[in-house]
Amino acid sequence: MSTIDNKTIIDDIIAGKYACDHPKRIVEYTNAWGNKAWGVTFGNEDPNAYLVDSPYIKNPRIIWEANQND
């Protein structure tokens, strides 16, 4: 799992710029400091990891998911 705080990197991941990475899901949320952040899950990691509200993850929403065959 990765937490990224840069929208340009997220856009590049979605566009497939980093071909060696194969994310399963990207979740946008508000972090504990009130800033936008993105949680990225890969491979066998729990794709729901960033979908639970907590003090560190507020208002999560899925913005991108891999195809079932990926």
E-only strand ranges, the chain: 2-4, 23-30, 36-42, 58-65
For residue 10, how far is the Cα from the chain centroid? 8
Q: Which domain holds residue 21?
A: 2-65
In the prediction, which pLDDT does 68 show? Answer: 62
In the prediction, which pLDDT does 55 show? Answer: 95
State pTM to two decimals.
Answer: 0.88
| Residue 70 within any structural domain of the chain | no
Is 20's pLDDT higher than 80? no
Radius of gyration for the chain, computed over Cα atoms and rounded to the nearest angstrom: 12
Name the pLDDT band for 69 (thresholds 50, 70, 90): low
Name the pLDDT band for 67 (thresholds 50, 70, 90): confident
* CA dist., res. 52 & res. 14, Å (int): 22
pLDDT in tens, 26-54: 999 999 999 999 999 988 899 889 999 99
| Residue 54 within any structural domain of the chain | yes
Number of structural domains (the chain) is 1
Name residue 58's beta-bridge partners.
30
* CA dist., res. 25 & res. 66, Å (int): 6
